[in-house]
Structure 1
Amino acid sequence: MKVENKVILVTGGGSGMGRELVLQLIAKGAKVITIDINAAALQETLELAGNNASSVKTFLIDITDRRSVEELVPTAISQFGVVDGIINNAGIIQPFIKLNDLSFETIERVININLYGTLYTTKAFLPHLISRPEAHIVNISSMGGFLPVPGQTIYGATKAAVKLLTEGLNSELKNTKVHVTVVFPGAVRTNIMGNSGLDNAASMDDPRAARITSAQQAAQVIIRGMESNQYRVLVGKDAKIMDFLYRLNPKAAAAFISKRMKRV
């Protein structure tokens, strides 16, 4: 679905990939409704939109609150008359610790944001999207959604669930005008660690960070995949390489990542 003259909802638009998605969408002629739990971050995104700020509407919404998400639907539609697509971008990671040491409070938070937040937004807007002449749903999974990463077991489980949710939805909507895309980013330079309540200062100073996909590059790949109605979108060389290795030999790919993580 070409985004020009379309209305797209982006979750987590206050920072990182979400912010880049908002800015690049409006630059391509789309109108954007974006939601986040950080009011200051949303305001900054709006300011960065500059002369295109009138094409962006922001809402302070907690996507883990199903009622708030459902109540957003008529409000969002009223902004520009319709909603043609949604990009479920909002998500967090877990502390880099083993499942045995992870609190249930943290587990539930990761599940609620990554899985239920995506589910609530998708299901709430789905009836309206089905009614449109053409629509699109983009769900952001992760390389960790098809490949186990030590210390990110619950995060990976939620992203694997998003993967299957999206693929199942694609099959269910095959006879409609709603396109569905699942995205698998590898490492992307964003402030997801800070948004997840973790300290990311060291990682930003790491020389290896220069080789990581930027949020701007990731957004470009995602929008390009959306406009070409791709089923799967892999973001970054690491995601592409590990996707290939995992298909070739899942156990060896998992062992490779485990070994690499011990060096971090």
Structure 2
Amino acid sequence: MLLAKKTIVVTGAGSGIGQQLSLQLLQRGANVAGIDINAATLDETGRLASSAPGEFKGFQADITDPNKVNSLPAEVLAHFGTVDGIINNAGIIQPFRRVLDLTIEDINRVMAVNFYGTLYLTKAFLPLLLARPEAHIANVSSMGGFLPVPGQTLYGAAKAAVKLFTEGLYAELKDTHVKVTVVFPGAVATNIMQNSGLNVPKADTAGASEFKPISPREAAGQILRAIEKDQFRVVIGRDARAMDKLYRLNPKYAADLIQRKMRSLLG
């Protein structure tokens, strides 16, 4: 899908990949309805976007609230007149703990943001997308959505749900004008830990991967290129691509390898 002159909804638009998605969409001549729970970071994205060719409008919203999400299509339409695509990017990780040590509140929050937020946004905007001559849905899963990561088991379960939800959407919408892309980023240098309410020192995670995290700018660029090409699936980062291949060849060996890498985080 060509992005120029399209209106795209981006969740998590206040920081990280979501902010870069917004800015790069605007540079391509698209308009962006940026959604984030944090009004201050959303305003910062708006400030950075002020000189871009496209128009940015921020909408503060908690995507885990279905009532608020259901009100967003009308709000976006009132401002832009149309909606041509959504990028469900917002997400959080869980505390680095085994399932046994997670609280039900921890579990519900991770599932609510990562899976139900994606589901609510998609259902709310899908009728508008189906009415367009061409449209696109891109959902951000994770390397953890196809590979088990100890200490992030519930995060992985939520992202695996996003994976299968998106693949199911692709099949259901195949005969429509709505194209669907599922995204699997590996390590990206964002502030997801702080946004998730966690405080894990960098030294603790340094040995978790032999690959250098890529920048949010590069991750966003790869996502937008995938949308422009109507790709079904995009794997981002050398770590994600390597583990994707290894997990296909030998799932148990790949799971054991990640377990050894993550052991220090769990104690």
TM-score by length of structure 2 reads 0.95
Q: Counterpart of 2:15?
A: 15
Q: Counterpart of 2:74?
A: 74
Separation in structure 1 between the aligned mates of residue 232 and residue 248 of structure 2, nearest angstrom? 17
Contact 1:46–1:53 (Cα < 8 Å) also in 2: no
Cα distance change, pair 127–67 in 1 and its aligned pair in 2 (3 A): same
Task: Show structure 2 runs of 5+ residues with no match.
Answer: none
| Aligned positions of 1:36-75 closer than 5 A | 36-52=36-52, 55-75=55-75
Amino acid at match of 1:245: L
Provide, for residues 81-101 of structure 1, a one-character-per-residue CA deviation record: whole Å limited to 9, x for no partner.
Answer: 100000000000001110000
Provide, for residues 119-141 of structure 1, a one-character-per-residue CA deviation record: whole Å limited to 9, x for no partner.
Answer: 00000000110010000000000
Shift of 1:262: 2.4
Shift of 1:50: 2.8
Amino acid at match of 2:196: S
TM-score by length of structure 1 reads 0.96
Provide, for residues 133-168 of structure 1, a one-character-per-residue CA deviation record: whole Å limited to 9, x for no partner.
Answer: 000000000000000000000000000000000000
Query: Could you tell me the percent identity over the aligned residues?
Result: 57
Does 1:194 pair with 2:194? yes
Amino acid at match of 1:216: R
Amino acid at match of 2:158: T
- Name the SS for the 2:52 alignment partner: helix
| Aligned positions of 1:200-215 closer than 5 A | 200-202=200-202, 211-215=212-216
Cα distance change, pair 188–223 in 1 and its aligned pair in 2 (3 A): same
Provide, for residues 98-130 of structure 1, a one-character-per-residue CA deviation record: whole Å limited to 9, x for no partner.
Answer: 000000001000011101000000000001100
| Aligned positions of 1:102-141 closer than 5 A | 102-141=102-141
Amino acid at match of 1:181: T
* RMSD over aligned Cα atoms: 1.8
Cα distance change, pair 58–139 in 1 and its aligned pair in 2 (3 A): same
Contact 1:13–1:21 (Cα < 8 Å) also in 2: yes
Q: How many pairs align?
A: 264
Q: Counterpart of 1:180?
A: 180
Provide, for residues 234-254 of structure 1, a one-character-per-residue CA deviation record: whole Å limited to 9, x for no partner.
Answer: 010001000000110111111
Q: Counterpart of 2:250?
A: 249
Contact 1:107–1:154 (Cα < 8 Å) also in 2: yes
Tell me which stretches of 4 or more aligned residues in structure 1 moved more than 6 Å. Answer: 207-210
Amino acid at match of 1:139: N
Contact 1:189–1:209 (Cα < 8 Å) also in 2: no
Separation in structure 1 between the aligned mates of residue 200 and residue 188 of structure 2, nearest angstrom? 13
Separation in structure 2 between the aligned mates of residue 184 and residue 54 of structure 1, nearest angstrom? 27
Q: Counterpart of 2:2?
A: 2
Q: Counterpart of 1:229?
A: 230
Q: Counterpart of 1:97?
A: 97
Separation in structure 2 between the aligned mates of residue 61 and residue 177 of structure 1, nearest angstrom? 28
Shift of 1:260: 1.4
Amino acid at match of 2:219: A
Contact 1:2–1:227 (Cα < 8 Å) also in 2: yes
Amino acid at match of 2:80: F
Cα distance change, pair 80–145 in 1 and its aligned pair in 2 (3 A): same
